[in-house]
Amino acid sequence: MNKKQPNMNFGAAGLFVVFCLLFFILLFRYFSIQFTGEVGSQPLAVKAQQKYSRTGSLDAARGVIYDQKGEVISEDTTSYNLIAILDKKMTTNPKKPNHVMNPKNTAKELANFIEMEESEIYSILTKDQFQVEFGKAGRDISHQTKKEIEALKLPGITFKRDSKRFYPNGIFASHLVGYADRVDEEDGTYKYVGKMGIESILNKELTGKDGKINYESDLWGYLLPDGEQKITPAQNGNDVYLTLDKKIQTFLEDAMNKVVEEYKPKKIIAIVADPKTGNILAMGQRPSFHPKTKEGIDNSWHNEAIEISFEPGSTMKIFTLAAAIEENKFNPNELFQSGSYRVTSKDKAIHDHNRSGWGTISYLEGVQRSSNVAFAKLANEKIGFEKFREYLTKFGFDQPTGIDLPNETSGKIQYTWPIEKATTSYGQGTAITPIQQIQAATAIANNGKMMKPQVIDKIVNHDTGEVIRDVTPEVVSSPISAETAKEVLDILETVVANEETGTGNRYQIDGYSVAGKTGTASIPDPKGGYLVGQEDYIFSFLGMAPKENPKLIVYVAVQQPEIDHYSMGSIPVSMVFNPVMKNSLQYLNIQPSQQEKASTTKLPDLDGQGVSNTVKQLEESGLEVVVLGKGAKVTGQFPATDTDVLEGEKVIIQTDGDLIAPDMTGWSLRDVMKVAKIAGVKLNSTGSGYVDKQNIKEGTLLRKGEFLIVDLKTPEEKLKLESQNKEADENSELPDEEGEKLPQD
């Protein structure tokens, strides 16, 4: 007993020492941490900040693309991604499930809203995961579709807010505007990258810089009420204003659609430009594609107006004519022998498009008839090949225009041998781009000053509205004088207006003088020579209006439409040129250049007056009155009060009864527009001239918002077409001695 006592005292003393050492070590550690603020050479403040500090991303919006008047062409818009929660642990109350309870029924319902088979959806919903998404089919869900799915109250189905690139106009200058694709990053974020057109070439300007937010949170990640926040704001992408005009572009898209439907051409290329500024107001092509769905993009990756050069055909004669006039070598009354011409004794003969020519004619008639011989002689014998080559450079045909669009190509001027120099004068052998023709044509329509084509109007800071880049008109050169430009316009007007010899009669526009030139270019055969089918041509027209002071240039080219004879090639081209030019001039409030000289009457306010007395009063003033409705009182009128109207002009009055469609056969489009305006109907027109047919029959009701479609024809059109077809059949051309197909205008 006594021996154990010392051992116990020794053990207790040992424990006491051990606990004392632990206490002093703990105490030392405590004060050490207090004074140094570090553990293992790691600052505790930093560790705490890492544990309770959170970083969030503030997404930057991609810049908006507008037309020149601020109409949206491309923008970011809110969308939603479809998500399904599959983990049963998310449901704490069986009466209010938070996960997918019935995969089969859920798959059946979702199949009605997303492009995915029910079986595939079911397969996704039965995976052993916390949550699932539905790939491309579950992205870009619209707000309306989201609401409809939410209304089904499907357990476990939810949405994540997202954004997408939205193109509200659909197929609309698609190759010019381009598109932006979503690119997913490794960290789970994404961005949109431009892949074509403006979206591509201005991708840097359109792309914003994401911001971030640093904030303090609790253990579960929730924001602390008094926690510190540090915000780096997002910098949204800059907005781009194009020179396009939405209204004119819509005219162009609609016209091309009609030609595609009726003639099914291999290609259509069309451009509308302002010759005073070089601004491109519209640009389109067929085939085209939808920038959102990419439907149709496999048919044409290239902007045909910019990236592809081809033989222009006789539209090139505009610039040969301008060079001859500028050099004072063009005498419109001088005679020459048409039909065929040899540049040298060793070269093959150049033929006119009808091979036999028209005998001895003047050079003016040679222009009007689009004589290849006339222009070959002008280039060789009058201007001289070397001097003519200088004008090809002056008009910019041997270099890109520098337009702000990607992948622009240049012309390919074949100018080695005498025969190549001669054929270049009338648009064969040498290849140029449509945009080069537009640039060169500005010199003709703008008093000799050639303007650089522009598609960008300005670039604006999205957040501040500050103009970062303001594009101004740029004069490239002055290849000809103002006097030469005027004379060229006067001569080109006769190509359209002269009923006897002009090849451009089909491009006459009621009320406006048009100056222009037709073109029918052969298509090279990959096996050698040229294609020889009746439709194997590129039919084109380059026109300017009004001739006295052109406000618009319109170029249209249609390749290989389904026609019975090449002489009909101008029909599909005119179906684009005529309505686009006329509707655009009217939209721009360009006054008609051909007005009858007649007495005018200032139209009084007719509202509330009796119909019979009003009709009598207006007819006594020499006006033609059309009454819409069967009421007794006037409730509306067009033209408006105090408008000066010409003697014989139609005045449309609206009564307080139902509006009844009149017989509009023989009416001008201008008068039809009055009815459409006052009745509130949507007007579509085809052709040119006067009304031949109308879809709303005479005597039926005119309902607001419905479509009124009229088919226009010139009085001579039907007879002329029959005559052309008959003549073409009788004089069916044969290939020349080397198999080359000659252009026909």
Q: At a CB cut-off of 8 Å and minimum separation 6, what does 524 contact?
A: 311, 530, 531
Residue pair 159/151 in contact by the 8 Å Cβ criterion: no
φ, ψ (nearest 5 deg) of residue 443: -65, -35
CA distance 566 to 703: 42
DSSP string, 60-95: PPPPPEE-TTS-EEEEEEEEEEEEEE--GGG-SSTT
- The residue among 339, 66, 314, 365 whose CA lies nearest residue 198 is 66
- Residues forming a β-bridge with 217: 223
User: Which residue reads 């527009």 in tokens?
Assistant: 673
314 carries an active-site annotation: yes
Residue pair 583/251 in contact by the 8 Å Cβ criterion: yes
- Residues forming a β-bridge with 190: 184
Helices (H), 43-96: 44-52
According to DSSP, residue 383 is labeled I
DSSP helix/strand/coil, 32: helix
Length of the chain: 745
CA quadruple 114, 119, 122, 123: dihedral sign: negative
CB atoms within 10 A of CB 276: 17
Q: At a CB cut-off of 8 Å and minimum separation 6, what does 212 contact?
A: 55, 56, 57, 58, 231, 232
**Class of residue 45 by CB neighbours under 10 A (exposed 0-12, middle 13-18, buried 19+):** exposed
CB atoms within 10 A of CB 364: 18
Question: Which entry of 74, 288, 314, 370 is annotated as an active-site residue?
Answer: 314
The packing angle between helices 482-497 and 434-445, to 10°, is: 110
Q: Find the Cα–Cα–Cα–Cα dihedral 734, 433, 240, 249, rounded to 10°.
A: -20
Cα 473 to chain centroid, rounded: 21
CB atoms within 10 A of CB 332: 16
Residue pair 710/688 in contact by the 8 Å Cβ criterion: no
- Residues marked active site are found at 314
